[in-house]
Amino acid sequence: MALTGKRIVLIIAGGIAAYKSLDLIRRLRDEGAVVSCLMTEAAKQFITPLSVASLSGQPVSDQLFAPSDDTGMAHITLSRRHDLLLVAPATADLLAKMTFGFADDLASTTLLAADKPILVAPAMNALMWAHPATQQNAALLRQRGVHMVGPAAGDLACGETGDGRMAEVAAIVAAVTRIFAPLPMNGKHAIVTAGPTYEAIDPVRFIGNRSSGKQGYAIAGALQALGARVSLISGPVALPPPPGVTVTRVESADEMLTACLNLLPADLAVCAAAVADWRVAAVAAAKIKKSAGSAPPNLTLAANPDILSTLGHHARRPRLLVGFAAETENLLANAHDKLEAKGCDLIIANDVGPGSGVFGGDDNHVWLVDRFGATEWPTLSKTELADRLAATLMERL
């Protein structure tokens, strides 16, 4: 039995799909799980606490301050004594509460206080699911590390058809099982660099580039999801840190290199940051002023450290070293040259020329280049590309 000994809190919210929760309880118990159920007031309009308690073999929790609770803090004990919080069905209202941190009943308070994995199975009308507010809520919850299964497409209880059906019970049980499965990169340490570097000209101005950091952040999150211990070294970006990832924030190439070396040894390093090739040789101590008719200052540039090459030739070189080649011309030739010069194992090559939309965009089209040749991948979202790359790196490790 895949879930033997696992303790699961099943949170049942108020939707017609609540009737499926009764079968879900039985199936989870068949797999060996201990299931404790929590019902919202709305859920009790669709199924009864007696039915839930009978199938789970456990008392049903439904009050924030239940007199029978030995501590008076059920929202704390429910999370701390269990291995997973499963919300099925998850209504639009409960998803919104989770997103914005509302805590006005036992379900929302327990979810806010949770220190365990959370899996939600959304169920609602198709237009409610498609509404931008719900889509933004779901996206933000995923970004925070909340697992999601469904919704599925099909006939809805309201008589309409579309996305919004709660995932089938078998799919939910499979999703629960995957969360508890041993992760293939457990025990591996991965370093990921992301974003631009800013090289100071004076206290106000800098040399930088257009990198958003989205691809590097997505790669860090994908590696963490496979069980790796991920150290993300981030240049200046406006992105929330991926859940479970340790972030070191830097500005300059020198700072990024120092952070990389301080984190060695590592099993894997993915250098996705767009590191500036040059810096100003002498940074002005005060803002450089201009006056009427004055000529622009002459800036003398110096080469920045080559982070990828330094790691590629270091005594404690990561077992697997991956670089990025963002090019505007001669993509594959430049990528092969970079692979050899930097001493790395794999180059992710992409065209960032005018009109590509890669810098700051949500999609990417890359080639994987190693010493055996090059493989083209289709255009993917940066999240999809990160997942595919993480799986590839896991196999190579």
Give the model's pLDDT for residue 329: 82
On whether residue 151 sits in a domain, the answer given is: yes
C-beta atoms surrounding 296 within 10 Å: 7
pLDDT digits (tens, 9 = 90+) for 223-255: 998 989 999 999 999 998 887 789 999 999 999
With H, G, I as helix, E, B as strand and everything else as coil, classify residue 213.
coil
pTM of the predicted model as reported, rounded to 2 decimal places: 0.66
Whether 239 and 284 map to the same domain: the answer is yes
C-beta atoms surrounding 194 within 10 Å: 28
- CA torsion, ordered 20, 26, 31, 34, to nearest 10 deg: 110
Q: Which of 155, 180, 205 is the last residue of a domain?
A: 180
Whether 107 and 66 map to the same domain: the answer is yes
Q: Which residues contact 280 (CB under 8 A, 6 or more apart)?
A: 199, 200, 201, 207, 299, 300, 301, 302
CA angle 191, 197, 200 (to 5 degrees): 145
On whether residue 229 sits in a domain, the answer given is: yes
Whether 79 and 109 map to the same domain: the answer is yes
Instruction: Identify the helix (H) or strand (E) that includes residue 126.
Output: helix 126-130
- Find the CATH number of the domain harbouring 203: 3.40.50.10300
The whole domain housing 46 covers 7-180
Residue in this structure with the two tokens 């406006």, named with its chain if needed: 238
Mean pLDDT per block of 10 residues along the chain (397 residues) reads: 90 93 95 94 94 93 66 61 92 94 90 90 90 92 86 73 85 90 89 96 91 94 92 94 89 97 96 94 90 82 95 96 87 91 94 60 87 92 93 93
Give the model's pLDDT for residue 353: 66
On whether residue 2 sits in a domain, the answer given is: no
Whether 238 and 132 map to the same domain: the answer is no
Whether 263 and 163 map to the same domain: the answer is no
On whether residue 333 sits in a domain, the answer given is: yes
Instruction: Tell me the C-alpha distance between 33 and 80, whole Å.
Output: 16
Give the model's pLDDT for residue 71: 46
Whether 210 and 337 map to the same domain: the answer is yes
On whether residue 1 sits in a domain, the answer given is: no
| 362 to 31, 176, 233, 385, 397: CA distances (angstroms) | 39, 29, 20, 10, 28
- Find the CATH number of the domain harbouring 138: 3.40.50.1950
Whether 131 and 44 map to the same domain: the answer is yes
Give the model's pLDDT for residue 363: 84
On whether residue 319 sits in a domain, the answer given is: yes
Instruction: Tell me the C-alpha distance between 45 and 373, whole Å.
Output: 62
Whether 30 and 152 map to the same domain: the answer is yes
Q: Which residues are catalytic?
A: 158
Q: Which of 180, 208, 243 is the last residue of a domain?
A: 180
On whether residue 380 sits in a domain, the answer given is: yes
Give the model's pLDDT for residue 2: 81
Structural domains in the chain (count): 2
